[in-house]
């Protein structure tokens, strides 16, 4: 099954102490797992920024991304025209402000024809979904 993992799932997969670690870790090992390229920077920012109650050194965060994530997923990129297309449809989807980042994950999932988009922040994505979009699933 083709699926896209958002950064919340990736972070939980990488951090053994995370409450959803076992489920999210299993998703990384699943064949067909993808991430949107922007998730790499979201993961790094979260791991190094202290939002989780602790800060990981940038070199360690980079190592986690390189060895704990990239060998297990395919990275999806969006072209400039695909991003601009998403910006054009954003108003119809109710996208404003920072929601554009979640919407671009959804656009990337549609691009690869993902059946599911896994997230720990389902409400953020459910507000953006329309018919034909991947199923939003909490691991």
- Whole-number pLDDT of residue 17: 77
CB atoms near residue 136 (< 10 Å): 21
SS3 81: helix
Strands (E), 1-139: 3-5, 33-36, 74-76, 116-118, 135-137
Query: 8-17, 80-89, 101-110: which range is least confident on average?
Result: 8-17
CATH of domain 3-128: 3.40.50.1010
- Measured distance CA(33)–CA(83) in Å, rounded: 22
Q: What are the CA-CA distances from residue 32 to residues 35, 94, 129, 131 (Å)?
A: 10, 29, 21, 22
* Whether 88 contacts 82, CB under 8 Å: no
pLDDT at residue 9 is higher than 70: yes
pLDDT at residue 66 is higher than 90: yes
Mean of all residue pLDDT scores within the chain: 90
Query: 2-11, 36-45, 107-116, 119-128: which range is least confident on average?
Result: 119-128
Hey, where are the domains in the chain? 3-128
Q: What are the CA-CA distances from residue 36 to residues 11, 19, 97, 109, 133 (Å)?
A: 14, 23, 19, 8, 15
């Amino acid at each position: 099954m083709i699926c896209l993992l958002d950064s919340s799932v990736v972070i939980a997969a990488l951090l053994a102490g995370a409450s959803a670690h076992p489920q999210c870790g299993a998703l990384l090992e699943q064949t067909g797992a993808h991430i949107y390229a922007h998730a790499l920077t979201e993961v790094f920012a979260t791991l190094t920024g202290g939002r989780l109650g602790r800060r990981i050194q940038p070199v360690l965060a980079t190592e986690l991304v390189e060895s704990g994530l990239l060998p297990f997923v395919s990275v999806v990129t969006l072209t400039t025209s695909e991003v601009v297309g998403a910006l054009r449809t954003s108003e119809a989807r109710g996208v404003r402000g920072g929601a554009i980042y979640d919407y671009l994950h959804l656009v990337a999932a549609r691009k690869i024809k993902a059946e599911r988009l896994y997230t720990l922040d389902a409400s953020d994505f459910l507000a953006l979904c329309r018919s034909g979009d991947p199923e939003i699933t909490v691991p």
